[in-house]
């Protein structure tokens, strides 16, 4: 295994230092330090493109015991800038495992650190907010504390960064529909996860995955039945081109569903602002209220920015897209977790309904999207399209 007893240090931009041991690759890495609260699912977290540019710290103390495999990866590589754990597993024990976590970190040159008090670091971030940080091991561990801190403070802040080009596919590709085809969906890859594409295909969509450089003209020319914006890293305030693309396609009447980064971009396209959260939502145990049904869903999150839209009232889109309501709210801090357009076929959520990793409470949103597209193709109303498939099923049972 790749873990060692060599010393390493985690340095925060406020000068705080945490001594530990090298984990994974040795060397130097810089990024925004964030924490993820999931007790499982570290492989999906590591391979989630939304974590590009971030040093991820797991709050669960024991990490790596189930190893790594080829089935649970959400993309072709590990995207985190660095990895921080408290107690790395010494032995891999799972029948699906083909290799260890730390060996994968080393093979993909991901610099990590273990053996630090992750509870103390989490409390620091919760108090002061997410901040730039660096992990130093090997020769870089022998730099002076002043030199290490200077490197950390010289790193890029997440605010203002457009990282879509870093994580997006370079060429488009197609995934065929599973079963009866209901239409073609254009997916703008801003950091899309493999499970998202699989769930779309399983709902009967022919999935056309496009690079983030795609234009509105190209999307409209392919005669797609719907548009989907994926999750992704970076600041939504730095993605003006994608906002303009979305406004053009919405005005052309194309049904839209967005998750995570796609929710923030819909918010901007409708005329709302976005802002950076103090320390973000990351993990697979975030409670969200669906305001339409009153149900509380436990959901998977990975976002450091949010939409600034009025909660508890219907507002008018400043860009002329009609009435908009906040459909979902985080119960921990009242952050907007979903938008629903009442006059055009468009909705989005801030969290990850593909449940990789995470619970399955919100998986029905893919059914909602499929039904919206069916209704749109039949010429149905926007309100009919947004009806919850779970509610329809319950209604049919009660009528029977």
Q: Does residue 400 surpass a pLDDT of 50?
A: no
Diameter over CA atoms, the chain: 74
Asked whether the beta carbons of 389 and 364 are under 8 A apart, the reply is: yes
Smallest Cα–Cα separation from 135: which of 38, 311, 7? 7
Task: Identify the band that residue 114 occupies on the pLDDT scale cut at 50, 70 and 90.
Answer: very high
The residues near 247 (Cβ < 8 Å, ≥ 6 apart) are 269, 319
The pLDDT value recorded for residue 200 is 97
| Global pTM value | 0.90
pLDDT at 1 over 70: no
Q: DSSP letters of 186-197? A: EEE-SS--HHHH
Q: Which residues contact 392 (CB under 8 A, 6 or more apart)?
A: none
Mean pLDDT of 260-265: 97
Task: Domain ranges for the chain, please list them.
Answer: 7-153, 164-392
pLDDT at residue number 385: 40
SS3 122: helix
In the predicted structure, residue 290 carries a pLDDT above the cut 70: yes
Average pLDDT (96-111) is 95
pLDDT tier, 4 (very low <50, low <70, confident <90, very high otherwise): low
Record the tokens describing residue 62, joined without a space: 């024991």
pLDDT, position 380:
63
Q: Does domain 164-392 have CATH number 2.40.33.10?
A: no
| Token couple for 275 | 């802002």
Does residue 391 surpass a pLDDT of 80?
no
Does the structure show a pLDDT above 70 at 86?
yes
Per-residue DSSP letters for 69-105? -SSS-SSSS--BSEEE-SEE-SS---TT--B-HHHHH
Residue 347 has pLDDT above 90, yes or no: yes
pLDDT digits (tens, 9 = 90+) for 154-168: 999 999 999 999 999
Answer yes or no: is 136 a known binding residue. Answer: no
**What is residue 188's predicted lDDT score, i.e. its pLDDT?**
98
Q: Measured between alpha carbons, how far is 230 from 337 in angstroms, rounded to an integer?
A: 15
> Which of the four pLDDT bands, split at 50, 70 and 90, describes residue 394?
very low
* 71 assigned to active site: no
What is the percentage of the chain residues whose pLDDT exceeds 70?
Answer: 94
Beta strands in 272-322 (DSSP E): 273-290, 296-308, 315-316
pLDDT at 3 over 60: no
Whole-number average pLDDT of the chain: 92
Catalytic entry in 242, 303, 352, 376 = 352
Are residues 10 and 18 in contact, defined by beta-carbon separation less than 8 angstroms? yes
Residue 224 carries which DSSP code?
-
341 is annotated as an active-site residue: no
- By DSSP bridging, strand 111-114 and strand 173-175 are unpaired
Catalytic residue among 260, 325, 371, 376: 260
For residue range 363-383, list pLDDT tens digits in order.
899 999 999 999 999 986 544
95 in a known ligand binding site: no
| Domain at 7-153: CATH architecture | 3-Layer(bba) Sandwich (3.50)
232 known member of a binding site:
yes
Does 237 count as an annotated binding residue? no
pLDDT of residue 381: 52
Residue 217 is labelled as binding a ligand: no
Check 73, 354, 371, 376 and give the catalytic one.
Answer: 354
Shortest CA distance to 159 belongs to which of 284, 17, 304? Answer: 304
Give the span between the Cα atoms of 255 and 374, in whole angstroms: 10
More confident position, 359 or 394: 359
The two tokens of residue 175 are: 């995934």
Judge whether 354 counts as a catalytic residue.
Answer: yes
The pairs formed by 13-21 with CB atoms below 8 angstroms and a separation of 24 or more are: 13/131, 13/132, 13/133, 13/149, 13/152, 13/153, 14/128, 14/131, 15/149, 16/124, 17/145, 18/113, 18/116, 18/117, 18/120, 18/121, 19/116, 20/113, 20/114, 20/115, 20/116, 21/113, 21/114, 21/115
Q: What is the pLDDT of residue 284?
A: 87
Q: How confident is the model at residue 38 (pLDDT cuts 50, 70, 90)?
A: confident
Is 304 annotated in a binding site? The answer is yes
The whole-number average pLDDT for the span 307-319 is: 97
The distance from CA 108 to its chain's CA centroid, rounded to whole angstroms, is 21
């Amino acid at each position: 295994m790749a873990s060692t007893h060599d010393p390493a240090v985690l340095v925060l931009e406020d000068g705080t230092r945490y001594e530990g041991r090298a984990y994974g690759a040795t060397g130097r890495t810089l990024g925004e330090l964030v924490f993820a609260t999931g007790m499982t699912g570290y492989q999906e977290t590591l391979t989630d493109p939304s974590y590009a540019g971030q040093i991820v710290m797991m709050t669960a103390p024991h990490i790596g015991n189930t190893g790594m495999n080829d089935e649970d990866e959400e993309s072709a590589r590990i995207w985190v800038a660095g990895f921080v754990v408290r107690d790395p597993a010494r032995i891999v024990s799972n029948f699906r495992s083909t290799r260890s976590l730390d060996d994968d970190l080393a093979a993909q040159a991901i610099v990590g650190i273990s053996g630090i008090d992750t509870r103390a670091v989490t409390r620091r971030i919760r108090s002061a907010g997410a901040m730039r940080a660096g992990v130093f091991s090997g020769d870089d561990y022998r730099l002076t504390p002043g030199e290490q801190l200077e490197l950390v403070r010289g790193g890029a802040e997440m605010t203002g960064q457009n990282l879509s080009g870093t994580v997006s596919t370079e060429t488009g590709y197609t995934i065929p529909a599973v079963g009866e085809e209901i239409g073609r969906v254009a997916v703008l890859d801003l950091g899309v996860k493999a499970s998202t594409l699989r769930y779309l295909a399983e709902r009967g969509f022919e999935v056309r995955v496009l690079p983030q450089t795609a234009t509105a003209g190209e999307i409209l020319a392919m005669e797609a039945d719907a548009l989907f914006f994926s999750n992704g890293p970076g600041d939504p305030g730095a993605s003006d081109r994608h906002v303009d693309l979305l406004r053009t396609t919405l005005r052309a009447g194309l049904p839209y569903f967005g998750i995570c980064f796609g929710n923030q971009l819909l918010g901007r396209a409708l005329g709302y602002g976005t802002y950076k959260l103090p320390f973000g939502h990351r993990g697979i145990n975030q409670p969200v209220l669906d305001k339409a049904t009153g149900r509380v869903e436990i959901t998977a999150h990975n976002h450091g920015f949010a939409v600034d839209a009025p909660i508890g009232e219907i507002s008018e889109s400043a860009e002329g897209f009609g009435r908009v309501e906040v459909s979902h709210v985080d119960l921990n801090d009242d952050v907007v977790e979903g938008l629903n357009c009442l006059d055009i076929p468009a909705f989005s959520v801030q969290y990850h309904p593909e449940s990789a990793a995470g619970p399955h409470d919100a998986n029905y949103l893919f059914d909602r999207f499929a039904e919206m597209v069916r209704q749109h193709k039949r010429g149905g109303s926007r309100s009919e399209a947004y009806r919850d498939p779970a509610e329809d099923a319950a209604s049919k049972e009660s009528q029977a």
